[in-house]
Amino acid sequence: MELTKEEVLHIARLARLGIEDAEIDRLQGELSDILGHFTVLSQVDTEGVPPTAHTVAQCNVLGYDEPAPSLPTEEVLSNAPDRDGDFFRIHAVLE
Amino acid sequence: MTIDVSSFTIVEARKLLDAKEISSVELTRAYLDRIDAVDGKVQALMTVTGDLALKQAKDADAAIARGEVAALTGVPVILKDVLCTKGVRTTCSSKMLENFIPPYDAGVVERLKARGAVIIAKANMDEFAMGSSTENSVYFTTHNPWDLTRVPGGSSGGSAAAVSAGEAPAALGSDTGGSIRQPASFCSVTGLKPTYGLVSRYGLIAFASSLDQIGPLTQDVADSALMLNAIAGYDPRDSTSVPQPEADYYGCLGGSVKGMRLGVPKEYFAQGVTPEVKAAVDAALKVYEDLGCSIEECSLPTTSYALAVYYIIAPSEASANLARYDGVRYGFSYKDTGSMWQAMEKTRGLGFGPEVKRRIMLGTYALSAGYYDAWYVKAQKVRTVIRREFDAAFEKYDALITPTAPTVPFKIGEKAADPFSMYLSDICTIPVNIAGLPGISIQAGFADNLPIGLQIIGKPFSEKTILNLGHAYQQNTAWHKRRPKL
């Protein structure tokens, strides 16, 4: 199980994860090694076995549509890295 | 009065508080002094909330004077820094949340406060709860109180080390693949991972949502039951919280274990378990035999695949959960660049440490187009097989007994360069999370003064059974009473 450098860069881009050149080589080796160990899963016969997403079988969990106070604006913005009045200030999305 | 709090349990503290031989303010001050004396060596704590704790202690004393006493009224408690605390910095031991001050309390924190607990500190951990040694905290490494050159386990290593060092009688941790039980084993404390869904995850900073569960680290099983009484219960804010009638886990202790059927799955002894650990488990089984339990070797053949299942599913869920850290609404934000995408990539690249990045990459790979069925769906199917094996075993046995960790605590730095060898240290605990079961680690011996833990696994929502088994063991042994010398 050998990941290529291009695959590592592709995954990092999908994850929006900035990685430095030195990290690329390291991750290429580590991920290849780890995934190599996990190819053992193909040995388990899962023909006709359904996947388990959650161990507790709950059907749709519905909440009542009851109005309640939301967090005050000041608290919502209290951890904002950058703000402009009552707004989060971010980089331009469309240029 | 001067008191030595280093080996206090909640039950003992409760007696002194109720008899008014000590006030909560005095007790809290004694723990703050203890923290001052030992935390420089152990480095278990991220933030000590001394002023806030003394204020809560004062309120608790007023409540005690009015006769309004709940089980935890006036008792200091430590929280893993993955739990949101209103107005108190919550870092997840990550640069990403270095300055994050939550505007709300986690559900379990609300519950502890409602029952009068005094929140004395937030504990160090592996970044975003990813790790088995607490070496992945970006701030500092916590040391094992039994040997300061060794790791305390992880990811709740700060919580386990703090209780072991007597910095509080109890702490909360979170357990995704063993992160309460493995550090409990390494630090010689009692660590309980409840059934998935029994304790609300609201306000627990998410790592792998289908596996994470909050639980207590304490000096003994009786205190573990008291803490579970406080934190268990339905919470509509967590859609995976299971409506269950509230139970008295403490009140059920002391029942006879005679006639209980215990299974010992042989696969848990095949994967790197040392002779010392095996000998301690064998000795514990003898104790249960003497108490009238029947012991039988059994087999859970898919156990050896659990590690692979975990390290596909947990990183996949982590890659989705950690997508929220984009530098916009909270947390670290890199601004010194032109475009939104560049800023986001820089924020995440600089804000996350190596283990978190490794897992985000693993998860993103397993969920990506072309690989989803071969990795993620396959792992979820093997998860079903593992759960079915447990279900079948619990038709025959009341509980399963295994080691908690395959070895005694390892040296700081020993496994840091080899992620896969680090992953193996959770090999005995991971299957329990995959199947959503309850598991408890209790103190079961020492090898060269380094702790060994015993794991008791139960069927879903059988906390009473495993607590009772753990308590019976502690009534007949004294390992849990040994404290480290600091």
Is some CB atom of chain B closer than 8 A to the CB atom of A55? yes
CA torsion sign for B54, B59, B65, B67 is negative
- The torsion angles phi and psi of B183, rounded to 5 degrees, stand at -65, -30
Residue B74: closest CA among B125, B5, B2, B160: B5
User: Does A16 sit within 8 Å of B348, measured CB to CB?
Assistant: yes
For residue B388 the two structure tokens come to 């079915």
- To the nearest whole Å, the CA of A65 is away from the closest chain B CA by 13
- To the nearest whole Å, the CA of A1 is away from the closest chain B CA by 13
Q: Enumerate the β-bridge partners of residue B298.
A: B265
Is some CB atom of chain B closer than 8 A to the CB atom of A74? no
Side-chain half-sphere of B442: how many Cα atoms within 13 Å? 29
Give the chain A residue whose CA is nearest to the CA of B306: A41
Q: What is the mean pLDDT of residues A57-67?
A: 83
Contact B465, B410 (CB under 8 A): no
Residue B1 pLDDT: 58
Among B305, B342, B356, B382, most A C-beta atoms within 10 A, so best to mutate, is: B382
Cα distances (Å, whole numbers) of residue B484 to B44, B78, B359: 14, 19, 34
Contact B249, B192 (CB under 8 A): no
Is some CB atom of chain A closer than 8 A to the CB atom of B244? no
CB atoms near residue B425 (< 10 Å): 25
Contact B371, B391 (CB under 8 A): no
| Cβ-based contacts of B364 with chain A (< 8 Å) | 11, 14-15, 17
The pLDDT tens digits along chain B (486 residues) read 567 899 999 999 999 999 999 999 999 999 999 999 999 999 999 999 999 999 999 999 999 999 999 999 999 999 999 999 999 999 999 999 999 999 999 999 999 999 999 999 999 999 999 999 999 999 999 999 999 999 999 999 999 999 999 999 999 999 999 999 999 999 999 999 999 999 999 999 999 999 999 999 999 999 999 999 999 999 999 999 999 888 999 999 999 999 999 999 999 998 799 999 999 999 999 999 999 999 999 999 999 999 999 999 999 999 999 999 999 999 999 988 888 999 999 999 999 999 999 999 999 999 999 999 999 999 999 999 999 999 999 999 999 999 999 999 999 999 988 888 888 889 999 999 999 999 999 999 999 999 999 999 999 999 999 999 999 999 999 999 999 999
| Cβ-based contacts of A44 with chain B (< 8 Å) | 302, 305, 381-382, 385
CA torsion sign for B85, B88, B94, B96 is positive
Residue A61 pLDDT: 84
pTM of the shown model: 0.97
Is some CB atom of chain A closer than 8 A to the CB atom of B54? no
Residue B2 pLDDT: 66
Q: Identify the band that residue A60 occupies on the pLDDT scale cut at 50, 70 and 90.
A: confident
Q: Identify the band that residue A27 occupies on the pLDDT scale cut at 50, 70 and 90.
A: very high
Query: Rounded distance, CA B117 to CA B53, Å?
Result: 9
Indicate the residue of B239, B328, B345 with minimum beta-carbon distance to A16: B345
For residue B452 the two structure tokens come to 């060994």
For residue B165 the two structure tokens come to 């060092």
Element (DSSP H or E) covering residue B121: strand B118-123
Task: Evaluate if residue A63 carries a pLDDT over 90.
Answer: no
B333 as an active site residue: the answer is no
Contact B425, B132 (CB under 8 A): yes
User: Which of A:22-51 have CB within 8 Å of B?
Assistant: 23, 27, 30-31, 33-35, 37-38, 40-44, 46, 49-51
Indicate the residue of B335, B361, B377 with minimum beta-carbon distance to A17: B361
Scan for tokens 């493995």, then name that residue: B182
Q: What is the mean pLDDT of residues A43-47?
A: 96
Give the pairing type, strands A83-84 and A87-88: antiparallel
Indicate the residue of A33, A52, A79 with minimum beta-carbon distance to B387: A52
Query: Rounded distance, CA B94 to CA B343, Å?
Result: 18
Query: Rounded distance, CA B27 to CA B386, Å?
Result: 46
DSSP B76: E
Cα distances (Å, whole numbers) of residue B94 to B26, B35, B128, B192, B335: 33, 23, 7, 25, 19
DSSP B372: I
Is some CB atom of chain B closer than 8 A to the CB atom of A87? no
User: Does A55 sit within 8 Å of B436, measured CB to CB?
Assistant: yes
User: Which of B:184-213 have CB within 8 Å of A?
Assistant: 196-197, 210
Residue B389: closest CA among B377, B375, B405, B400: B400
User: Does A71 sit within 8 Å of B104, measured CB to CB?
Assistant: yes
Inter-chain CB pairs, A–B, below 8 Å: 169
Residue B419 pLDDT: 86
Read off the amino acid at residue B401. Answer: I
Apex CA B436: angle with CA B279 and CA B113, to 5°?
A: 100
Query: Rounded distance, CA B332 to CA B348, Å?
Result: 9
How large is the ipTM? 0.95
Residue B311: closest CA among A6, A47, A34, A26: A34
| Cβ-based contacts of A7 with chain B (< 8 Å) | 365
